[in-house]
Structure 1
Amino acid sequence: MKSYISRIILGLFLLFTSFVFAQNLSQNQFKVKGNCDLCKDRIETTAKKSGAKKASYSVDSQTLTLETDDTVSTDDILKEIAKAGHDNEKFNASEADYNALPACCHYERDQLTANEHHHIHSKKENEFYVKGNCESCKARIEKAAKDAGADLAEWDAEKQTVILNFDPKKTSSDKILKKIADVGHDNEKYKSSDSTYKNLPSCCLYDRETPFGEANPKVHSEENGKQDHQAQETSHTENNNEKAIEGVTVTGGKASTSLSKKEAGLIFNIDKKELLKAACCNLSESFETNATVDVSFSNAVTGTKQLKMLGLDQKYTSLTKELLPEVRGLASAYGLSFIPGRWIESIQLTKGGSTVTNGYESITGQINTELLKNSEKPETSLNLFADFNGRTEANITSVSKIDDKWSQTFLLHGNGTFGDTDMNNDSFLDRPKGTQLNAAYLLNYNDLEKSGFGSHFGINFIKDERTAGQIGFDKKMPQNQQSLYGVGIDISRFQVWNKTGYVFKGKPYQSLGWMNQYTFHQQDSFFGLRNYSGKQQTYYSNLIFESILGNTNHKYKAGASFMYDGYDETYLTGNFKRNEIVPGAFAEYTLTGVKYTLVAGARVDFHNLAGTQFSPRLNFKYDITPQTILRLSAGRGFRTANVFAESQQYFASNRNIQILENGGNIYGLRPEIAWNYGASLQQEFKLFGRKSTIVADFFRTDFQDQVMVDLDRSPQQLTFYNLEGKSFANSFQTQWDFTPFKNFDIRLAYKYYDVQADYLSGRREVPFMAKHRGFVNVAYSTNKDNNGGFWSFDTTLNLVGKQRLPDTSSNPEEFQLSSYSPSYAVLNAQISRNFNKKIRAYLGGENLTSYYQKNAIVDVKNPFGNYFDGGMIYAPIMKANFYVGLDVTF
C-alpha cells in the first residue's frame, strides 16, 4: 500500500514538474518596433510587468522574445507594449502614446504593421521575406544562404522573398536568415546592422522603411528612373558605428532625395537618381530640380555658372567634396564645372549654419558632394552626351570590389565644345569653346566590423582649356596682334586626399577620424589685353574625436584642424602673394531629449592674417508632433575674400579695378564676418492618400564686416572696400512636395529675397538678385512593360522677378541699362526611356521659352573701348538648346 501511494505521489510530482518545466519553456517571438536602447529598456520592462518571465528585445532584428507560462496571455503583454508606445504585429500604439515617446524613440511607423504578421505566416513553408534591389543583391543573398548550409536558395526581387531548401539536421532557417542579415539584407527575422547596410553598393541600397510583404518602392523607383518620395524619406540612422565616423565616412552615400526629419539642421539629401532628371553635366547643373539653390550665368563671355543660396553669392556657401574643401580660392569661378554629374553619388545640402567640425567658412550653408564608391559586384557605366550647339561629353565610371575589405573606383570624364554658338548675332560666342579632361581614382578600405578601421583614398587630375570672345579669334596668336577680342583660360588642378576612421572596440559610440588633403591649382588667363594668372597650394587637415557623456543622449565631438593656403596672383602688372596659416580647435555637443535635439558647437581659429576668430553655432529641433517639426539655428562664420578670383566675371569689360585699402592684411582689406539666423517649420500630412510635405523657412544674414564689390561708382570701375554700415540678406522660402497619384510627383516653391547693403553711395539693393522667384517641378514615370522598360518625364519651370542692375547712367545714352531688368520664365524638360536595367536614352531641352538677354554685352561693337562690359548679366544668354544622351551599364 505504501509502495502504491509512493508511486502515485512520485507520478504526480513528475507530472507537476514537467508541467512547470513546460510552462517555463514556453517561448515566443514577436515583431515590435523600436529605435534605440531606451526602447529596449521600455519594451522589456513593460513585458515583465505584464507577466512575462523573461523578455529580450533586439533593436537590430526588431524582435521581442518572450518566455511565459500558460497563465499569461502574450496578447495582453503585446497590448501593454502598444500602450507604452510601441507598434507590434498584433497591436498598434495610439497616436498619443507614440507622440509621448522621446524623440530618439520615434521609429518609422510604416516599417512594420500588424498586417506583416499575416503576410509572413501566409507564405509557403521555407519562403521568407528578404529585402534587396538588384542582381547584385540576388547573388549576395543566395551565396550567404548557401554559406549558411542551404542546399538551394532562390531570391525573387519582385516578391522580395527567398525560397530555401536545406537539411534541418545541418542548419536552420534562423541560421540562414541571420547570415543573410550579416551581409546587409533585412529579413523577417533579422535586421542588418546600419554600418553593414551602408556598406552595400549604391545600387543595392533598398528601402528599409517598406513593410515586408509589399513591393519595395525603391526597386520600382530605380526601374522607373525616379524616386518614390513618399517611401524614400531620409533615414538618418541612430547607429553609433555609422555616426562615429561622421566627417570621415568611408562607406556609401545615402539613398534619399528628401528632407531629413531626424537632423537638427535643415538638411536636404539629393540622390543621384534625382540628378538624372536634367542634363546635369556638372555640379553647377545639379540643382535644376531643386528649389533651394539659384543657378545663373555670371557673364556673357566665359559662359560660367554661379550658385546663390539664401540670397547671397556662392562664395558664402561652403562647397565641399567628400567633406573636404573644394570650390574655394582660385577655383571659385570655374570649380563647379570640375565635378562631373555622372561622378556624383549624392549631395547633402544644409541651409544656414552647418556643423563647426567642417570648418569656419560656412555662412549661408554647406553643399557637400559624395563621389561614387563601394560595390559588391563590378559595375562599369558609360555616358554619352551631346547638344545641338556643338558640346559633347563622355563619362566612364567603374566601381568594383577588390576583396571583402577593399574596393576601388575609376572615374573618367572628357568634354569638348567645338561649335560657334552665337544665338543673338552679336559676333561673340555665347559660351566658350574648349576641352576638359578629368580623371580620378578612389580606393576604399572598410573593416569597421572587425578591426574598427576604415579608410578612403582619392586622387584627381584636371586639365581645362577654354577660348571665348569674338568668333574667329585665334588663341594661338597674341591678343595685341589681332583685332578680334578674345579670352583664354587654361587651368591645371591636382588633388590627393585621405580619410581614415577608427571605431573603438566595444565602444561603437566612440571613434577617431582624420582627414588630409593637398590641392594644387594653377590658372593662366587673359581677357582681351588684360592678363590674370594665379597659383594656389592648399593643405587641409582635420582630426575629430567623438564619444558620449554617460549615454547616447549626450554626444560630443572635439578636434583640431589646420589650413594652409599659399597664393601667388598676377593681375596686369601687379603681383599679389600671401600665405594663410590657420590652426583651429572645435567642440560640439548634441543633446537628445524627449522631443528635441540640440546641437551646440564652437570653434576658435588662429588666422595669421585675419586674427583670432571665434565661431559659435547652434541648431535646435523640436518635434511638436512626429509630423510637425520646428527648427531654429544661429551661427557665425568668417572668410577671406579672393577679390580677383571671385570677380572674374567682370574681367571681360573695360572696368579698372580699384582696392580701397582699410588696414587689413588681405589685399589691404579685413576678413568677411557674418551671423546667420534661421527658423523653419516642416509639416507632413496625407493628401490623396499619400504623404505630402510643406516646409517654410526664414533666414537672415547680418554682416559684421564684408568686402563690398561696388559696380555703381562708375561703369568704368570695379571697386573693392570694406563695409562701413550695414549689409543684410533676408530669405523666405516655402516648398510643397506632394504626389497626387502613383508615379506623379509635384514640387512647388516660392522664394522672397531682401538683400541690401550700405555702399559708399548709400544703401542699395544688391544687384542681380530677384526679390521674387517661383519654382515648379513635375515628374512622372510609366509602369514597367514586359521587357522591363518604362518612360520618364520631367519638367521644371523657374519664374524670376525683376532685378536691380548696376548704375550705368553716366554712360552715353545708347550704352545705358534700365534700373531694373524685366521678369522672365525659363522652362526645362526631359524625356527618358529605360529599355531595361542597363540601357537608358534621354532627350531634353533647356530654356524652352527661349527667353534670352538681347543686350548681353554693352558696346559690343567696340570691345576695346571705354564702355565695353560683358558682366551685366541677369538672364540666360542662349535661346532654347536641345540635347541627347545615352547611359549604358555593364
Structure 2
Amino acid sequence: MKLYISKIILGVFLLSIQFIFAQNLSKTQFQVKGNCEMCKERIESTARKAGAKTAIYSINNQTLTLETDDNLISPNTILKKIAEVGHDNEKFKASNSSYENLPPCCHYERDLQTSSIEDYNPSKKENEFYVKGNCESCKARIEKAAKDAGADNAEWNAEKQMVTLNFDPKRTSADTILKKIADVGHDNEKYKSNDNTYKNLPSCCLYDREIPFGKANPKVHFEEGIKTELSDHITNNLINETPQNNEKQIEGVTINGSKASTVLNKKEAGLVFNIDKKELLKAACCNLSESFETNATVDVSFSNAVTGTKQLKMLGLDQKYTSLTKELLPEIRGLASAYGLSFIPGRWIESIQLTKGGSTVTNGYESITGQINTEFLKNAKKPETSLNLFSDFNGRAEANITSVSPINDKWSQTFLLHGNGTFGNTDMNHDNFLDRPKGTQLNAAYLLNYNDLEKSGFGSHFGINFIKDERTSGQIGFDKKTPQDTQSLYGVGINISRFQIWNKTGYVFKGKPYQSLGWMNQYIYHQQDSFFGLRNYSGQQHTYYSNLIFESILGNTNHKYKAGASFMYDGYDETYLTSNFKRNEIVPGAFAEYTLTGLKYTLVAGARIDFHNLAGTQFTPRMNFKYDITPQTIVRLSAGRGFRTASIFAENQQYFASNRSIQILQNGGNIYGLKPEIAWNYGVSIQQEFKIFGRKSTIVADFFKTDFQDQVMVDLDRSPQQLTFYNLEGKSFANSFQTQWDFSPFKNFDVRFAYKYYDVQADYIGGRRQIPFMAKNRGFMNLAYSTHKNTKGGFWSFDTTLNWVGKQRLPDTSTNPEEFQLPQYSESYAILNAQISRNFSQKIRAYLGGENLTSYYQKNAIVDFKNPFGNYFDGGMVYAPIMKANLYIGIDVTF
C-alpha cells in the first residue's frame, strides 16, 4: 500500500515537473483603452479569467502587460475577451453596445483605428503574422531571416502579406523571428524596420510602409520587469507630462486619432475643458490673451485705448478673480495682472485646462470664478524644432522658436524663444493717439525634465524664464527719450523686467502606484517702471511659492485623498506719484481633499486653512460632485469659497491714462487700508450627449452664482474725475448662465454655438448698479472645417468665429460738459474673425487671417482726446474694439 502511494506521489511530482518545464511564459504589452480604476479592475480580471498568468493595466500609459503560457493561451484570445467587455485594444474594437453599457466614468476616447470585434477572423492561425513585402526577392529574404532566427520552416505569401512560421518555442519565439525579419528591412505587425535598412532594399522591394490596424498589431515589449501604473497626480498634475492628443508612438508605429481640439473632461467632477494646441492654431494666438478667441467660456476685451492690453473675464467677473497658473504654479497675479497675459506666447503652449467655478484646494485659495492652467511644450520622444513667423498689416511682427528634444531615456529639454515688435503708427479713429502701443518684447525659457517614475519612482521638472518688455503709447510723435514735462504731446511708457525659476519633483512609492509625494517651488522677480503722461507708477514684486502634496488611498482606489502644506510670500514695493506703498504678505497654509468614486458618481471635497499675516486666518472649503444619470447625461454641482488680496494699482492701470485722481476710502484693513476680498461660488451644470446627422453632439448648460462676502469696489461713477476704492457695504453678486452646443454635421466640419447671460450687480456708495463694461447678453458661433489629408500630408483648414456683444452699462459722465458725456449704455455690436491655413506637409504650414472683419470700432475711445492734460481726458472708457479690420499672415516650419 505504501509502495502504491509512493508511486502515485512520484508520478504526480514528475508530471508537475514536466508541466513546469513545458511552460513557455512570455511577457508582452498591448495598448488597451480605459479611463479609471474601475476600467483597470475590469481589464485585469477579464485577462486573468481568460487565462493570463498575470495582468497589469496602466491607466496613464493605456497599456496592458500580460504574462502568458504560449502552450495554453494566446494574447489574441485574451484581447478578444477584453473587447467583449467594452474596451478597445490594438487588435479588437469593442462593439458599440458593449462600450455604451460601461459606466459613464469608463467612457474613454475611442480613437484607436482597430478592426471591430465582429470582424474577428478565427481562421487566422496563431503562427501567422503580417509582414510587408513586394516580390519574390522579398519572399526569399523574409523566409531566410526567419530560418536564421530559429524557425524550422517559414512560408511568406505576397498576396496576403503574411508569413507562416513553424518553430520550437523552447529554442526561439515569434518575437525573435519577427525582429530578425524587421532587421533585414521588412516591417511587420510587431516591429518596424530601420529607415536606412528599408531604403537600402532593392527598388523592386520598396513596399508601402503603412500597416493597417487589425492586421498589424504593434506591441511595446518588455525589456526588464513589469511596468506599474504611475500616480495620476504625479504624472498629470506635478510633473505635467502632457500627453500628445493626436498621436501616440509605439515601437515606431504611429497611431493617429481624431480627438477634438477642445474636450469637456467627462471624468472630472468639476467642469473642466481641455484645450490643446490644435485649438490654438485656429486663430492668430500670439499670446495667452488671444488663446480664447474660439472659446465661448472666456470673454476677451480690450481694457483701454492707450496701453492696448487685453483682459479676460469669466462668469461675468474680471480676470483677477480667476486663478491663472502655469504648470500649476501661480503665474498672472499681483504686478503682472495688467500685462501678464502677453508674457505667455501662444506657440509655447502645449495645452490649457480651463475649470469653471471652484477648483481644487490643492492649487491655492485665490480661485473664485475658476482656474486657467497653461502647460508648456515638453517631454518629446524625438527631437523637434519649430519656427513660427507672424506679421499683420499694421506693423506688428513676431518670431517664435521652440525646440523639444530627449537627452536620453530619462532626460529631456525644451528651449523656448519669443520676440515681437510693433513698429507702425496705427490710428484708425483719427484721434492722433496710437490704437496700440509700439514696442518690443524678448522672452526666453529653458525647461529640463527628468522622468524615471517607472523604475526609481522619481520625476522632476525644472524651468527658468526671462522677459524684457518695453512699450510706448500716447499721441503720435511722442518721443519717449524726452521727459514728459518738456514736451506738449501726451505719452505713455512702460518697461517691465521679469525673471522666474521653478522646480517640481515627485516620487511614486514602490509597489504602491496610487501613493505619491510631490513638491513644487517657484521664485518670481517682477519690476515695472512706467509713466502715464505726468503720472508715474513703479512697482517691484518678489514672490516665493512652495507646495507639498501627499496622495494615497483609504482601503481601495475608490477612496483617494490628498493632503499637504503650502507657503506663499509676496513682497511688494509700489510708488504712485509721490506715495509709496510697501507690504509683505506671508501665508503658510495646510489642506486636505477626499475623492469618492462610485459607479455613477464622483465626489471631491476639500478644505484648506491659511494663516495670512495681513488678512487673518482664512478657511476655504470647496466641493465638486458629478452624477451620471445615464452614460450620455451628466449633472455636476459645485460650491466653494475663495479669498484674495487686491493689488489696486497694478490691477487698474487701464485707468491711469486719464485725469482721474485716485482716492482710497480706508476701512481698517492692512492692505492699502482695505480688507481682503472674499466670495462664495455655486454652480450647477448638465451635459447631454446625443447623435445628430449620425454623429456625436453635445449640449452643456451651466449656471454659476458668485456672492461676495467682501470686495474692493472700483468706483468709476462717483465722479468722472475720480477713481475711488473702498470695501463693499451691502451686496455684490454675479449670476452667469451659459448654454453651448457642439456638433459635426459631417466629417471634418465642427460647429459650436453658445449663448451667455450675465447679471452682475453691486451696492456702490451711490446705490446698487450693474457693473460697468459687462454686457448682459452675448452670442457666439465658431465654424471649423478641414479637408482630408492627401498622400503627402497636406490639407486646408478654415475657421471663422462670430462674437455678438449686447449693450453694456457705461460709467456715469453726466457731470462732464455735454461734449464729453457718454451715453448710459453702449450699442451692441458683432465681431467676425476668420483664418485660412494650408498644411503643405507635416513640416510646413502657412496661414492667412483677419480680425474684426466687420470693422466695428469704438469711435469715442478717448474722452477729450484733444486736451490730454485737461480735466476731462479719459482713456479708460473702452467697451469695444478700437481698431478696424486687421489682416495677418504667418508660417510654421518644423525641423
Give the TM-score category using the shorter length.
0.7 to 0.9
Amino acid at match of 2:871: N
Does the aligned pair in 1 maintain the 2:189–2:216 contact within 8 Å? Answer: no
Aligned to 1:538: 543
**Does 2:755 correspond to 1:739?**
no
Structure 1 residue 724 corresponds to structure 2 residue 729: yes
What SS is found at the alignment partner of 1:59?
strand
Q: Counterpart of 1:274 in 2: which secondary structure?
A: helix
AA paired with 1:127?
Y
TM-score when normalising by structure 1: 0.82
The answer to whether the 8 A contact 2:57-2:229 is kept is: no
- How do 1:667-682 and structure 2 match up within 5 A? 667-682=672-687
Change (3 A) 1:642 1:44: closer
Amino acid across the alignment from 1:172? S
The CA deviation at 1:761 is: 0.6
Following superposition, the deviation at residue 782 of structure 1 comes to: 1.1
The aligned counterpart of 1:203 is: none
User: What's the % identity of the aligned pairs?
Assistant: 78
Deviation at 1:213, TM superposition (A): 3.6
Residue in structure 2 matched with residue 472 of structure 1 by the alignment: 477
Structure 2 counterpart SS, 1:247? helix
Q: Which amino acid aligns with 1:731?
A: S
Alpha-carbon distance in structure 2 between the residues aligned to 1:403 and 1:319: 33
Map 1:242-641 onto structure 2 (within 5 A). 242-253=232-243, 255=245, 257-641=262-646
Contact 1:32–1:64 at 8 Å: present in 2 too?
A: no
C-alpha distance after superposition, 1:281-337 (max 9, x if no partner): 000000011100000000011100000000000000000011111100000000000
Q: Provide the rounded CA distance (Å) in 1 between the counterparts of 2:328 and 2:749.
A: 33
Cα distance in 1 between the residues matched to 2:694 and 2:727:
55
Q: Choose which of 798, 803, 809 in structure 2 pairs with 1:798.
A: 803
| SS of equivalent residue, structure 1 residue 649 | helix
Aligned with 2:860 (options 852, 855, 859) = 855
1:115 CA displacement: 3.6
Pair 1:56–1:392, CA change in 2 (3 A): same
Matches of 1:163 and 1:491, distance apart in 2: 66
Q: CA deviation at 1:500?
A: 0.6
Q: Is the 8 A contact 1:700 1:730 kept in 2?
A: yes
| Higher mean C-alpha deviation, range 652-661 or range 684-693 | 684-693
Structure 1 residues 830 and 124: alpha-carbon distance in aligned structure 2, compared to 1, 3 A threshold: farther
2:765 to 760, 777, 780: 760
Paired residue for 1:646, among 645, 651, 664?
651
Residue 392 (structure 1) shift: 0.6
TM-score normalised over the length of structure 2: 0.82
Cα displacement (A) at 1:108: 5.8
Distance 1:847 1:507 in 2: 54
2:871 to 863, 866, 870: 866
Task: Report 1:51-200 matches (<5 A).
Answer: 57-60=55-58, 105-106=106-107, 113-115=116-118, 117-118=120-121, 121=124, 125-127=128-130, 172-173=173-174
* Cα distance, 1:627 vs structure 2: 1.4
CA shift, 1:696, in A, is 0.8
Which residue of structure 2 lines up, in the alignment, with residue 819 of structure 1? 824
* Distance (Å, rounded) in 2 between the aligned partners of 1:815 and 1:56: 79
SS of the equivalent of 1:647 reads helix
TM-superposed CA distance for 1:397, in Å, is: 0.7
Note closer, same or farther for the CA distance 1:749–1:118 as it changes in structure 2 (3 Å cut).
Answer: farther
Q: 1:127: Cα distance to partner?
A: 2.5
Which residue in the other structure is 1:771 paired with? 776
Give the Å deviation of 1:721: 0.3
Deviation at 1:117, TM superposition (A): 3.2
- 1:183 is matched with none
What is the CA-CA distance between 1:471 and the residue it aligns to? Answer: 0.1
Distance across 1 between alignment mates of 2:318 and 2:165:
62
Q: Tell me, what secondary structure is at the counterpart of 2:792?
A: coil
What do residues 379-422 of structure 1 show as CA deviations (whole Å, max 9, x unaligned)? 11111111000001011111111111111111111001010000
Deviations 1:640-664 (Å, cap 9, x if unpaired)? 0000000000000010000000000
Please list the CA deviations of residues 616-645 of structure 1 after superposition, one character each: whole Å capped at 9, or x if unmatched.
Answer: 000111111111111110000000000000
- The one-character-per-residue Cα deviations of 1:258-296 (angstroms, maximum 9, x if unpaired) are 110101111101101111110000000000111000000
Please give the alpha-carbon distance, in whole angstroms, between the structure 2 residues aligned to 1:387 and 1:775: 25
Q: Give per-residue Cα distances to partners, 1:190-247, cap 9 Å, x unaligned.
A: 9xxxxxxxxxxxxxxxxxxx9944999xxxxxxxxxxxxxxxxxxxxx9543334553
Counterpart residue number, 1:154: none
Partner of 1:655: 660
Paired residues of 1:513 and 1:545 also in contact (CA < 8 A): yes
What is the letter of the counterpart of residue 120 of structure 2?
H
**Contact 2:491/2:533 (<8 A) preserved:** yes
Write the distance in 2 (CA, Å) between the matches of 1:743 and 1:605.
49
Q: Number of residues paired by the alignment?
A: 799
SS of corresponding position for 2:120: helix
Cα pair 2:128 2:165 within 8 Å, conserved: no
Give the C-alpha shift of residue 257 in structure 1: 2.3
Further displaced range: 749-758 or 246-255 = 246-255
1:383–1:885: 8 Å Cα contact kept in structure 2? Answer: yes
Structure 1 match to 2:231:
241
Aligned residue in 2 for 1:699: 704
Cα deviation for residue 788 of structure 1 reads 2.5
Contact 2:230 2:454 in 1 (8 A): no
> How much has 1:173 moved relative to structure 2?
4.1
Structure 1 residues 312 and 90: CA distance shift in structure 2, 3 A: closer
Structure 1 partner of 2:250:
none
- Aligned residue for 1:412, secondary structure, equals strand
The alpha-carbon distance between structure 1 residues 558 and 487, as it changes in their structure 2 partners (threshold 3 A), is: same
For residue 720 of structure 2, give the secondary structure of its aligned residue in structure 1: coil
Secondary structure of residue in 2 paired with 1:621: strand
Q: 1:128 to 1:862 in 2, by over 3 A?
A: farther
* Cα distance in 1 for residues equivalent to 2:728 and 2:763: 7
The letter of the residue matching 2:232 is E
Q: Distance in 2 between matches of 1:48 and 1:663?
A: 67
Asked whether the 8 Å contact 2:657–2:875 carries over to 1, the reply is yes
3-state SS of 2:733 partner: strand
Which sections of structure 2, spanning at least 5 residues, go unmatched? 1-7, 133-144, 152-160, 181-187, 192-210, 218-227, 246-260
CA distance in 1, matches of 2:452, 2:720: 60
Rounded to whole Å, the distance in 2 between the matches of 1:875 and 1:64 is 60
Runs of 4+ in 1 over 6 A off after TM superposition: 24-34, 43-49, 52-55, 63-70, 74-94, 97-100, 161-170, 175-179, 187-190
Looking at structure 2, the residues matched to 107 and 568 of structure 1 have their Cα atoms a distance apart, in angstroms, of 50
1:714 pairs with 2:719: yes
Stretches of structure 1 that go unaligned for 5 or more consecutive residues are 1-9, 130-144, 152-160, 180-186, 191-209, 217-237
SS at match of 1:258: strand
Kept after mapping to 2: 8 A contact 1:540/1:563 = yes
Seen in structure 2, the aligned counterparts of structure 1 residues 369 and 77 have a Cα distance that, compared at 3 Å, is closer
Q: Is the 8 A contact 2:130 2:189 kept in 1?
A: no
Paired residues of 2:781 and 2:803 also in contact (CA < 8 A): yes
Inter-partner Cα distance in structure 1 for 2:165 and 2:306: 68
Contact 1:250–1:454 (8 Å) recurs in 2: no
Deviation at 1:114, TM superposition (A): 1.2
